[in-house]
């Protein structure tokens, strides 16, 4: 049996459904991306987002601001987009150049347009289980688990990595699905004790080969969020070659969680559009 999760196929299915919905209901969602300075990796990410938006019928606008711009002017741009009723989603491409206060800038985005789900309001609403926009990578991970019918109720799930972007929102999403969640980080002692008992292991640490075969339970589902560059190619945080022999399901890198992150962004833009037009 093929135990490799196909994130590209799953994301295509999601995109097809989003496109169908946009066409059928005559929706006109739009996304504005603010990019400060030029960061090569960010350029690629933004290009992928543009391509994905165009594929499903979401209007995409990129606002390029110079690295030398003041924080105040970036905030003014966000305020302008908050007021613009033709813009449904606003995303500030991270990381911002050194010297910018990311938290302060992100929190200027209207929570209704915060399609990255990073404002205090969306994070708080996620914890309280209120309607909100959820950070795209965790949402993409949950969508993959759903599409592959991975049971979560009563299951042991271990997350490695506690970032605001990935690990922390995942805790809430998994709890909402009745999983028993443990979370490891760089100060955890003997993370193997936690990873080894997990029915579902989700890794988002940014360290190649952090998770080796001996750290994984037999037949576990392994979701590798990590993206690392090694010898000019990409790899995750899991020793894929060895762990895939043991896992019941495993995501590859690339082609696993990455495409689902972009698909979740599209879903968030449509959700933001619908909430704004209720």
Q: Name the residues annotated as catalytic.
A: 49, 93, 116
40 contact partners, CB below 8 Å, separation of at least 6: none
Which residue among 88, 122, 195, 261 contacts ligand NAP (CB under 6 A)?
261
Output 207 or 213, the one with its CB closest to ligand NAP: 207
Work out whether 104 is an interface residue with ligand NAP (CB under 6 A).
no
Work out whether 28 is an interface residue with ligand NAP (CB under 6 A).
no
Which residue among 163, 172, 177, 180 contacts ligand NAP (CB under 6 A)?
163
Number of residues that bind ligand NAP (CB under 6 A): 26
User: What does the DSSP assignment read for 181-242?
Assistant: EEEE-TT-S-HHHHHTT-SEEEE-S--TT-B-GGGS-TT-EEEE---EEETTEEE-SB-HHH
Work out whether 226 is an interface residue with ligand NAP (CB under 6 A).
yes
Q: Tell me the window of 55-63, 85-93, 146-154, 165-173 that interacts with ligand NAP (CB under 6 A).
A: 165-173
Q: Are strands 89-92 and 59-65 parallel, antiparallel or unpaired?
A: unpaired
> Positive or negative CA dihedral for 262, 263, 266, 268?
negative
Output 81 or 170, the one with its CB closest to ligand NAP: 170
Work out whether 134 is an interface residue with ligand NAP (CB under 6 A).
no
Q: How far is the CB of 23 from ligand NAP (least distance, A)?
A: 27
Output 5 or 205, the one with its CB closest to ligand NAP: 205
> Positive or negative CA dihedral for 38, 167, 260, 212?
positive
Q: How far is the CB of 76 from ligand NAP (least distance, A)?
A: 28
CA distances from residue 141 to 74, 103, 224 in whole angstroms, order as listed: 31, 24, 9
Q: Are strands 59-65 and 200-203 parallel, antiparallel or unpaired?
A: unpaired
CB 224 within 8 A of CB 257: yes
Work out whether 227 is an interface residue with ligand NAP (CB under 6 A).
yes
Tell me the per-residue interface mask from 238 to 257 with ligand NAP, x by CB under 6 A, - otherwise.
-------------------x
Encoded tokens for 60:
């995409």
Phi, psi of 8 (to 5 degrees): -70, -45
CB 122 within 8 A of CB 88: no
Q: How far is the CB of 107 from ligand NAP (least distance, A)?
A: 18
Kindly compute the dihedral angle of the four CA atoms of residues 255, 257, 263, 264, in this order, to the nearest 10 degrees.
180
Work out whether 138 is an interface residue with ligand NAP (CB under 6 A).
no
Work out whether 14 is an interface residue with ligand NAP (CB under 6 A).
no
Which residue among 207, 209, 275, 276 contacts ligand NAP (CB under 6 A)?
207
- Helix, strand and coil percent figures for the chain, each rounded to 5: 40, 15, 40
Q: How far is the CB of 198 from ligand NAP (least distance, A)?
A: 14
> Positive or negative CA dihedral for 137, 108, 275, 132?
positive
Q: How far is the CB of 148 from ligand NAP (least distance, A)?
A: 16
Q: Map the footprint of ligand NAP across residues 167-206, applying CB under 6 A.
A: 167, 184-188, 191, 204-206
| Chain positions contacting ligand NAP, by CB under 6 A | 137, 160-163, 165-167, 184-188, 191, 204-207, 210, 225-228, 257-258, 261
């Amino acid at each position: 049996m093929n135990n490799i999760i196909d994130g590209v196929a799953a994301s295509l299915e999601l995109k097809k459904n989003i496109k169908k919905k946009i066409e059928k209901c005559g929706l006109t969602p739009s996304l504005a991306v603010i990019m400060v300075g030029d960061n090569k990796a960010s350029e690629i990410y933004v290009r992928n987002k543009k391509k994905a938006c165009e594929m499903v019928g979401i209007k995409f606008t990129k606002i390029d601001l110079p690295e030398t711009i003041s924080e105040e002017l970036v905030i003014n741009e966000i305020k302008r987009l908050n007021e613009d009723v033709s813009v449904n989603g606003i995303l500030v491409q991270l990381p911002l150049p050194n010297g910018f206060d990311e938290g302060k800038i992100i929190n200027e985005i209207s929570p209704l347009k915060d399609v990255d789900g990073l404002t205090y309001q969306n994070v708080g609403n996620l914890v309280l289980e209120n309607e909100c926009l959820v950070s795209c990578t965790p949402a993409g991970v949950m969508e993959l688990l759903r599409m592959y019918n991975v049971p979560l109720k009563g299951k042991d799930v271990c997350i490695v990595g506690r970032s605001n972007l990935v690990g922390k929102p995942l805790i809430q999403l998994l709890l909402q699905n009745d999983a028993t969640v443990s979370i490891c980080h760089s100060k955890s002692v003997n993370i193997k004790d936690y990873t080894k008992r997990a029915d579902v292991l989700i890794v988002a640490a940014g360290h190649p080969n952090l998770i080796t075969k001996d750290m994984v339970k037999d037949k576990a589902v392994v979701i590798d969020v990590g993206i690392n560059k090694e010898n000019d190619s990409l790899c995750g945080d899991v020793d894929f070659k060895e762990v895939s022999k043991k896992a019941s399901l495993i995501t590859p890198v690339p082609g696993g969680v990455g495409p689902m992150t972009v698909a979740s962004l599209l879903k968030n833009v449509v959700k933001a559009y619908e909430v704004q037009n209720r």
